[in-house]
Structure 1
Amino acid sequence: MGAGKTKRMPRAVREQQMLDAAVSVFGRRGYMAASMDEIAELAGVSKPLVYLYLNSKDDLFSACIGREARALTEAVRAGVRPGLSADGQLWSGLRAFFDHTARHPDAWRMLHLHARTHGERFAAEVAAMREEIVAFVTQLIAAAARDAHRDPHLPEGEVAGLAEALVGAAESLADWAGATEGVTAKQAAATLMNFAWAGLGDLMAGRPWSPPEDSEPVPDAEPVPEAEGVPDSEPVAQAAG
């Protein structure tokens, strides 16, 4: 090999560089404001090469969503170690989620903000990722209930609702942590753990909260009668004067 020749970079490696650059630009600017010129420059390649590898801006955005969605779900799954107590599994899963979103803020903004609001195709891809995470959390809560030897077990609908609530809270808290200076991933996870486990712990121990039996809907307030002889458009104080 001549001294002037350099080894060509494998296509897969080059493509990952393009995706890294695109995630950074999409996360910071959003889909519409993201420039293919900026993405190519950040990746260290020409714009025609980006199109050659990834076809179009839409396809590039979709490839970024797919890669980052897989990375997030894999991180959460890998973070939950089998054999832990119910609270230990929840804590390790939350730590994995917040650690990942803190390390990859551009990817999180792209997934949770930009992909959901740009178009139906991209929103559907993110929704599929979210459904996978909710299903995983549902399994964790159901398994925790079985391990607690509750009889009867938690109803399926209640387990699904708890999982939806927990994932929704984690998403909102990840946004808050990312926008709040000084909040670490561990602190965010602990905040949600304290909020969630206070209720889940009692639930697993067979002490669910129930509304008081004598509680009744608050009746609608009676309308305040208008002062006699005062037109609707005239203030009462003015009429009294």
Structure 2
Amino acid sequence: MPRAERERQMMDAGVRVFGERGYRAASMDEIAELAGVSKPLVYLYLNSKEDLFTACIRRESAALIAAVRAGVRVDVPADRQLWDGLTAFFAHTAEHPDGWAVLHSQARSGGDPFVAEVVAMREEIVAFVTSLIAAAAREAHGDPELAEREVAGLAQALVGAAEALAGWANGDDSVSAREAAATMMNFAWAGLGNLMAGARWSVPDAS
């Protein structure tokens, strides 16, 4: 079997075991057995448990980012682009629950090197969402009225909410990716749409 295919099998097994058990509780014996290879072969190909977990995080990160980017059409209005991206995000996390568990929960509790990998992935997604919100501001105003710092903050809030919603949606088989995306749009775009139209919320007068 070609080396690349063998490594894919090992990483598939790793994602499943790490996703279910976490980094510390995962057993290399179990991963090797699930992949249908010997444990020494796993170490030969992927060096160590830490390196295998890191490789799994990087692969699942790249797959999620690629899915979101591929799902967004550039020739549609900004709200449709956000809808497309959210639908792609929720569809991918639902189709790859172990991969999402590795990224969203297991890597974050595994220690600093693994957290750094997830932070890098999240920063790339936030940057992408930031560009969508900035494009929406330009579309609404011609000359955007949203400050760069405000756009970045909105993107952080949107990504954080989507991550939390994915955990809820993946725990309920009756919730489809489109339903989760619609929930997110109702939560976020209603407010963003008003913001793009210049209708800002202001702090009530304490008096």
The normalised TM-score by structure 2 is 0.97
Q: Does 1:120 align with 2:148?
A: no
Q: Does 1:16 align with 2:46?
A: no
SS in 2 for 1:216: coil
Q: Does 1:183 align with 2:175?
A: yes
- Mapped to 2, the partners of 1:45 and 1:152 lie a distance apart of 56
- Mapped to 2, the partners of 1:151 and 1:48 lie a distance apart of 60
Confirm or deny: 8 A CA contact 1:150 1:204 kept in the other structure: no
Confirm or deny: 8 A CA contact 1:150 1:205 kept in the other structure: no
Q: Does 1:129 align with 2:159?
A: no
Q: For residue 146 of structure 1, what is the aligned residue in structure 2?
A: 138
Shift of 1:32: 1.2
- Mapped to 2, the partners of 1:208 and 1:138 lie a distance apart of 19
Q: For residue 102 of structure 2, what is the aligned residue in structure 1?
A: 110
Shift of 1:122: 0.2
Letter in 1 for 2:206: E
Query: What is the alpha-carbon root mean square deviation over aligned residues?
Result: 1.2
Confirm or deny: 8 A CA contact 1:138 1:163 kept in the other structure: yes
List gaps (5 residues or longer) in structure 2: none
Letter in 2 for 1:35: S
Confirm or deny: 8 A CA contact 2:17 2:31 kept in the other structure: yes
- Mapped to 2, the partners of 1:44 and 1:94 lie a distance apart of 36
Confirm or deny: 8 A CA contact 2:73 2:81 kept in the other structure: yes
User: Percent identity among equivalent residues?
Assistant: 71
Which fold has the larger relative contact order, with Cα–Cα distance below 8 Å and residues 6 or more apart in sequence? 2
Q: For residue 38 of structure 2, what is the aligned residue in structure 1?
A: 46
SS in 2 for 1:148: helix
Count matched residues: 207
Bigger Rg, structure 1 or 2: 1
Q: Does 1:208 align with 2:200?
A: yes
Confirm or deny: 8 A CA contact 1:145 1:153 kept in the other structure: yes
Task: Detail structure 1 runs of 4+ shifted over 6 Å in the superposition.
Answer: none
Q: Does 1:93 align with 2:93?
A: no
Shift of 1:181: 3.6
SS in 2 for 1:32: coil
Q: Over residues 167-198 of structure 1, what are the superposed CA-to-partner deviations in whole Å (9 max), with x where a residue is unaligned?
A: 00000000111122411111111111111111
The normalised TM-score by structure 1 is 0.83
Q: For residue 26 of structure 2, what is the aligned residue in structure 1?
A: 34
Shift of 1:209: 2.2
